[in-house]
Amino acid sequence: MTDLNLAYEHCRDIIERHSKTFSKAFSMLPKQQKKAVWAIYAFCRRADDIVDEGKDPDRELEKFAQEFDLFMEGKLENDHPAWLALEDVFKNFPMDPKPFYDMIAGQRMDLNPKPIKTKDDLLTYCYHVASTVGLMLLPVIAPGKTAMLRDGAVELGYAMQITNILRDIGEDLERGRVYLPEQTMAEHGYSFDDLKRKNQNQAFVNLWEDLAEDAEMYYERSLKTIPYYPIYSRAPVGGAAKMYRAIIQSVRKNDYDVFERRNYVTDQEKKQIIAEMQ
């Protein structure tokens, strides 16, 4: 097995370990595109892990950002398999570096959080940490159609990240992070004290549903763009969107318990969604 094949296998291990949803959805792509998705996911995961698990995340993230600068200049002397695989992706597809830089900026937002006061603040955050992933993938899964599909990819990122936030309220709270917009909390009469006490009252349900409704709207808009993707990408993108969207329903089924339990979509539900897309 060549170094390049080993590099892609390394990236494949990362996506399979950390995101069964993405791994399952994008396994339907042709081989070259599928491998490129693994490499792009590995880039995003490495940045994420620095922020969530790094011993000195500020320093480590800046080192990662400098490595990406050198990577873009063709001067990176680093044989990490994730860089090797990503280099091959940049050779084979018309990649746009901007969303990669924007993603790193999004990780800085997590390290030095500013209060999320409005839904617009929330969308700015969602763009940087999630919509950027869709924009990284577009040249791979829809070459030549990136301009046409850009808005739908951004909106799918909004939808997925709001879904993450709604699922992970309890986990984020443990880390001292709150992504619920202050203005929206106030509109529903739900305070930060309520949140700290993990009050799962009607005000919380109304607040949660307000944001879930936004996510559903962005899913609807993005799913309308699926017919414009190449045939080989429609089921993977549509499948990923629908599998993520199903998390919202899982939380509802579990009576909005996002403080004490992890809400997820079962493998059986995922298989059913994929089968319906094919």
Looking at residue 206, its pLDDT comes to 98
Exposure on the CB side of residue 84, measured as CA atoms within 13 A: 14
Is residue 81 within 8 Å of residue 11, measured between CB atoms?
yes
How far is residue 213's CA from residue 159's CA, in Å, rounded to a whole number? 10
Residue with the bigger pLDDT between 266 and 160: it is: 160
Greatest mean pLDDT among 2-6, 77-81, 212-216 lies in 212-216
- pLDDT band, residue 198 (cuts 50/70/90): very high
The pLDDT assigned to 177 comes to 92
CA–CA distance, 222 with 154 (Å, rounded to integer): 8
Of 20 and 256, the one with more pLDDT: 256
pLDDT above 90: residue 278: no
- With contact defined as beta carbons under 8 Å apart, do 221 and 162 qualify? no
For 140-185, write each residue's pLDDT tens digit: 999 999 999 999 999 999 999 999 999 999 999 998 999 999 999 9
Rounded CA-CA distance 104/99 in Å is 9
Greater pLDDT, 101 or 266: 101
* Distance between CA atoms of residues 188 and 224, nearest Å: 31
Q: What are phi and psi of 195, to 5 degrees?
A: -65, -45
| Cα dihedral: 72, 35, 242, 244 (round 10) | -60
Tokens of 215: 């996510």
The tokens of 143 are what?
């070459």
**pLDDT value at position 22?**
86
CA gyration radius for the chain? 19
Is residue 114 within 8 A of residue 178, CB to CB? The reply is no
Give how many domains the chain has, as a whole number: 1
- Contacting residues for 17 by C-beta, under 8 A, at least 6 apart: none
Band (pLDDT 50/70/90 cuts) for residue 116 is very high
Burial 231-253 (b: 16+ CB within 10 A, else e): eebbbbbbbbbbbbbbbbebbee
Q: Which range of residues forms the domain containing residue 234?
A: 3-277
H helix and E strand count, the chain? 15, 0
261 has pLDDT over 90: no
Burial 103-128 (b: 16+ CB within 10 A, else e): bbebbbebeeeeebeebebbbebbbb
Which pLDDT score is estimated for 1?
Answer: 58
| pLDDT band per the 50, 70, 90 thresholds, residue 219 | very high
- The token duo for 146 is 């990136």
Measured distance CA(141)–CA(179) in Å, rounded: 30
Q: Taking the model in full, what pTM does it have?
A: 0.94
| CATH number of the domain within which 35 lies | 1.10.600.10
Dist CA 98 CA 105 (whole Å): 11
Q: Over pLDDT 70: what percentage of the chain? A: 99
Question: In this structure, is the dihedral angle defined by the CA atoms of residues 252, 254, 255 and 258, taken in order, positive or negative?
Answer: negative
The position carrying tokens 């590099």 is 7
Whether residue 58 has pLDDT greater than 80: yes
d(CA 149, CA 222): 9
Give, for 222, the enclosing helix (H) or strand (E).
helix 202-223
pLDDT band at 271 (very low <50, low <70, confident <90, very high): confident
Answer yes or no: is pLDDT of 45 > 70: yes
* pLDDT given at position 87: 97
Answer yes or no: is pLDDT of 187 > 80. yes
Phi, psi for residue 137 in degrees, rounded to 5: -75, -30
Identify the pLDDT of residue 269: 79
